[in-house]
Amino acid sequence: MNDSRRQFLAAASSLLGAGFASQFSAPQLLAQQPPFDIERLAAQLIKPSTQQAIDRALAWLGRRQNDDGSFGGSGYSRNVAVVSLAGMAFLAAGNTPGRGEYGGNLNRCISYVLSAADESGFISIPATASHGPMYDHGFATLFLAEVYGMTPDSDVREKLHRAVRLIVTTQNNEGGWRYQPKPLEADISVTICQVMALRAARNAGLFVPNETIDRCIDYVKRSQNADGGFMYMLSGGPSKFPRSAAGIVALYSAGIYEGDEIRKGLEYISQQIPRPEDFSRDTHAMYGHYYATQAMWQAGGEHWQKWYPAIHDVLLKAQQADGSWMDLICAEYGTAMACIILQMPNNYLPIFQR
């Protein structure tokens, strides 16, 4: 076991000892009682070729990082959400702040995200913001919560606390969130981003009102169509794979692990087995598979057995010669997302644990 993995597992063990239970979904380990064998679980699913692909991708991300913690130099590569996802990719490999092969890169990600937080708690940089800056805020809050769970830094805690408070106070009367930090409209995509951030913050010991989560659960359930997929907004609309995968993860993040909504949602997204052409046709393909892989990981059993090998093979074939993955948003985003998906069996990050 390498040093970074040993250090990360020690951090994970301390979280579990504090009461954050973990359940591994791989079929071979379903009958196993705690403590779970993380090394064995990862070895069964992350093959040498998989690890080589991950290593090349992380090295590419490391080379693309600027001194201020951002990535690349154009488009969304300097966006707070992209930096946060890259930080999550480093964390998912067993790095912790200041420790591990990419501990320095991770520290720079943290500094960049913290520098983007204003007095209200909102985390976004206008010059590099997406069309919906609450995406930036949600992914940044999720990242800071995962970091704080490992290294309780006072600056991280203060800005994380403000970020959580902003999410809570901007929930609209339907129970969801939209592009701007205002309690006006809501859509399923921005809502899942916020509820994952709240779940991660609660895991790390911050207070999140039960009422906020209950209203969010009601919103997500009302967003589900009869076919099991999810509409974009409560005003109606067809089911689509990316937002339907996000809808299931929203329920899982809110603590709903079974029921008709989960069953029907899994049946819907199970029909969308990953294909190579998905990534060349759909701007939201990587986003959708990021959430679908989480959903199938949580579901376990046959769902996971079918899904991970399929997305694994598609991603490995799509990797570029330099180690990156191309994406219509930006290569840094695509590479970070692919790394997180492929490293799901490591089960290192509390937010991905059931």
Q: Which residues pair with 96 in a beta bridge?
A: 99
Flag whether 58 is in a domain: yes
Direct distance between the N- and C-terminal alpha carbons of the chain, in angstroms, rounded to an integer? 24
Please state the pTM of the whole predicted model.
0.89
Flag whether 279 is in a domain: yes
- Please tell me the predicted confidence (pLDDT) of residue 12: 42
pLDDT 10s digits, 16-74: 333 333 322 333 333 333 344 555 656 678 899 999 999 999 999 999 999 999 998 77
The boundaries of the domain holding residue 275 are: 3-18+44-352
Flag whether 33 is in a domain: no
Flag whether 35 is in a domain: no
Flag whether 150 is in a domain: yes
Q: Any idea what the CATH number is for the domain that residue 160 is in? A: 1.50.10.20
- Please tell me the predicted confidence (pLDDT) of residue 131: 84
Flag whether 28 is in a domain: no
Q: Which residues pair with 71 in a beta bridge?
A: 65
| Cα-Cα-Cα-Cα dihedral sign, residues 181, 184, 190, 191 | positive
- b/e 224-242 (16+ beta carbons within 10 angstroms → b): bbeebbbbbbbeeeebbbb
- Please tell me the predicted confidence (pLDDT) of residue 307: 95
Six-digit token string for 295: 């959903």
Flag whether 250 is in a domain: yes
Flag whether 226 is in a domain: yes
Nearest to 245 by CA among 203, 196, 315, 179: 196
Decide if 178 contacts 184 (C-beta within 8 A): yes
The rounded distance, in Å, linking the Cα atoms of 61 and 87 is 10
Cis upstream peptide for 35 (omega within 30°): yes
Q: Which segments in the chain show pLDDT lower than 50?
A: 1-36
Domain count, the chain: 1
What HEC string does the chain produce? CCHHHHHHHHHHHHHHHCCCCCCCCCHHHCCCCCCCCHHHHHHHHCCHHHHHHHHHHHHHHHHHECCCCCECCCHHHHCHHHHHHHHHHHHHCCCECCECCCHHHHHHHHHHHHHCECCCCCECCHHHCCCCHHHHHHHHHHHHHHHHCCCCCHHHHHHHHHHHHHHHHCCCCCCCECCCCCCCCCEHHHHHHHHHHHHHHHHCCCCCCHHHHHHHHHHHHHCECCCCCECCCCCCCCCCHHHHHHHHHHHHHCCCCCCHHHHHHHHHHHCCCCCCCHHHHCCCHHHHHHHHHHHHHHHCHHHHHHHHHHHHHHHHHHCCCCCCCCCCCCHHHHHHHHHHHHCHHHCCCHHHCC
pLDDT 10s digits, 162-208: 999 999 999 999 999 999 999 999 999 999 999 999 999 999 999 99
